[in-house]
Chain A
Amino acid sequence: MKPLSFTWLMLAAVVGLAVGNGCKKGTTGGGSGNTIVIGHFASMTGDTATFGTSADEGIRLALDEVNAKGGVLGKPVNVLTEDDRSQADEAKTAAAKLINHDHVVALLGEISSSKSIAAAPVAQEAHIPMVSPGSTNPKVTEMGDYIFRVCFIDPFQGTAMANFAMNNLKAKKLAVLYPVNSDYGVGLRDFFEEAVKKAGGQIVVDVSYTEKSDTDFKSQLTKIKNANPDAIYVPGYYTEAGLIARQARELGLTCPLLGGDGWDSDQTVKIGGKSADGCYFSNHYSPDEQRPEVQDFVKAYKAKYKGKVPDAMAILGYDALKVLCDAIKRAGSTDGTKIRDALAQTKDYPGACGPITIDQNRNAKKNIVILKIQDGKFTYVATIKP
């Protein structure tokens, strides 16, 4: 056996680990035990890790508040977070683990639409309701009647930004620079262009970049500069938005850049520096809003996370857990179907980022806010109602 001993050792180690992992089953019994367990699968590492970590921070804050008020149905609530390494396959595995291994009563999960879409069938088949904090692609909730979200959807966001550009900024010639490998970016671009054309505007250039890999956009921007547009729509994430703004200004492009909720991070300003000034983007909320819910949330978040300003994913995670707990409370049970029914009837729930009403397509009807970047700060410009 000698030459193979190493192999067997490795195998034994792995099997041991797996069995050890499996044996922990039952110690955390979903609703039947003394706690109510909710699962959260998120990108804690990998290229969209910021969203996962932000959402998780928001969820943890909401969890503290829920438990401080005595939990739900007289039991404390616990949230288990599983990492999906920013990969769709892993998202599905993580969701399956949470449902079957940890017996969660409901799932919170994924900001990125493609990962929510991948994991949704698992929740649907197991009849476990899943609430996505921030997946804005319309297809997510079409995956089944157990899939919900607490944010607006891309058609609304793209149209809102197009109308804002045409009406408020008086832009007639628009350029689009979108991330070709992002479901989010491609979706927003389509809805934006449709809305612009409908309103009589003109798309003068339509170019793309590759998200998470391109850092040089000068070539595209030079092309845009030649077409001399009134504004440039960049429906990407903050990771590229700052760089794009910076390079646009270097080339002497002075028109404003417009973005979506993917821009919402202080990184946009930190990376973009002064170049990001004068740009607009649509978002779920603004920390400047004077509504008491927002101010309370921002204060609590800063207290818990060393003065960090919460981004949209944090507040959406916060709202997602709150809405879910509210639904469990109203359902009076941890049965998946009953929670689903309660979730579907959510109406005017006073969420931190605005009242939440779940419509018949299981999407949230919410207001959209337009923010302007000014002197490194996001300032509130307008609210657009659905």
Chain B
Amino acid sequence: MQEFVQQLINGLSLGAIYALIAVGYTMVYGVLQLINFAHGDVFMVGAVLVLLIARGVGWVGDDHVTHSWAAFGVCAALSVAGCGLLGFVIERFAYRPLRNRPRLNSLITAIGVSLLLEYGGQHPKVFGPTPRPFPIDMLPGVGGRLFSIGGVVITRIDGMILAITLVLMLGLSYVVMRTRTGLGLRAVSHRFDVAALMGVNIDRIISFTFVLGSTLAGVAGILFAIKYPKVDPLMGLLPGIKAFVAAVFGGIGNITGAVLGGLILGLVEVLAVGYLPNGSQYRDGIAFVILIAILLVKPSGLLGKNVTEKV
């Protein structure tokens, strides 16, 4: 029982991260019907930038670390802003020129951007291929346990991640449901061309979506790096794919669905490893099996609306 509860907690904290990345995927897919392959790499940039900025300013060196939440906050804010900018640039220069082309073309440029970020990051003058430790020592007291009851452990990092995810999701739903831009966003994702006829500035909305999604990916990257303090230019690859699975699972284009999908995926993965025979060997396979199963039974995902195709 104690083991089971612990596994549940492990799954939730893993799922929260998937959820944060998945939200970005689902928003971009909602407005553009495009799998933004570079999303996972924006996630990576979020974590890498914090480290680069901290090293650049001199808060983190080979043998010294500034213990200051404020300093870390500055790095994180700059990095998240950088991710937003990156999202804007990617959309403006790689996707927008191809918007009226078949989606496959955008998919290839997305792959190109993703490769560019990965290999660019691996260049020794940028970051280098070696994984480096993330400076969590800048955050005094972030390690350790929040509390433990009867052997069930919840770490402070997990608590922090869950709290931040919750706050961000509430903020996001406010933006999407209560603001004018959010209204535009929903209109564009509902029907692209009609939204334009109704006076929605599509370019602006799409740029906004990319900036917002990339910002969230940046935050997710930083949280991920705090939880698993190792950063390298390829770190976004697998979380990116898993998050996409989560987004599809929850119903792509649906923000609540993405969160739900992320949490469920995290839970299922952890429970599969914990309780299926040889589950740990099939961990990544299990994510895809779930995906295919849900696609077959309910192609629109858990919370997605079933859209019938019109002739």
A residues with CB within 8 A of B: 44-47, 49-50, 53, 180, 207-210, 212-216, 218-220, 222-223, 225-226, 239, 242-243, 246, 250-252, 267, 270-271, 273
Contacts and interface: CB of A to CB of B under 8 A. Distances in A.
Nearest to A223: B274
Contacts of A267: 130-133, 230
A180 B280 contact: yes
B241 to A, nearest CB: 9
Contacts of B137: 273
Given A243-B228, A267-B133, A214 B283 contact: yes
B255 interface: no
Contacts of A216: 10, 14, 228, 270
19 contacts: A47-B129, A180-B281, A210-B284, A213-B238, A214-B238, A216-B14, A216-B228, A219-B11, A220-B280, A222-B6, A222-B274, A239-B232, A246-B229, A250-B143, A267-B132, A267-B133, A267-B230, A271-B133, A273-B229
A273 B228 CA distance: 12
A50 B237 contact: no
Contacts of A220: 273, 280
B153 A242 contact: no
Contact of B7 (A210, A215, A219): A219
Contacts of B3: 222-223, 225-226
Nearest to A216: B14
A226 B3 CA distance: 7
Contacts of B284: 210, 213
Given A44-B129, A49-B128, A215-B224, 17 more contacts: A46-B122, A47-B129, A50-B129, A53-B128, A53-B130, A210-B283, A219-B7, A219-B274, A239-B131, A242-B133, A242-B230, A243-B228, A251-B153, A267-B132, A270-B133, A271-B133, A273-B229
A47 B238 CA distance: 13
Nearest to A48: B129
A215 B47 CA distance: 14
B234 A212 contact: yes
Contact of A208 (B130, B232, B271, B281): B281
Given A210-B283, A250-B145, A219 B273 contact: yes
Interface of B: 3, 6-7, 10-11, 14, 119, 122, 128-133, 137, 143, 145, 148, 151, 153, 155, 224, 228-230, 232, 234-235, 237-239, 269-271, 273-274, 280-281, 283-284
The 10 closest A-B pairs by CB, nearest first: A49-B129, A270-B133, A219-B273, A218-B10, A215-B228, A213-B238, A219-B270, A50-B130, A208-B280, A271-B133
B126 to A, nearest CB: 12
Contacts of A213: 237-238, 284
Contacts of A239: 131, 230, 232
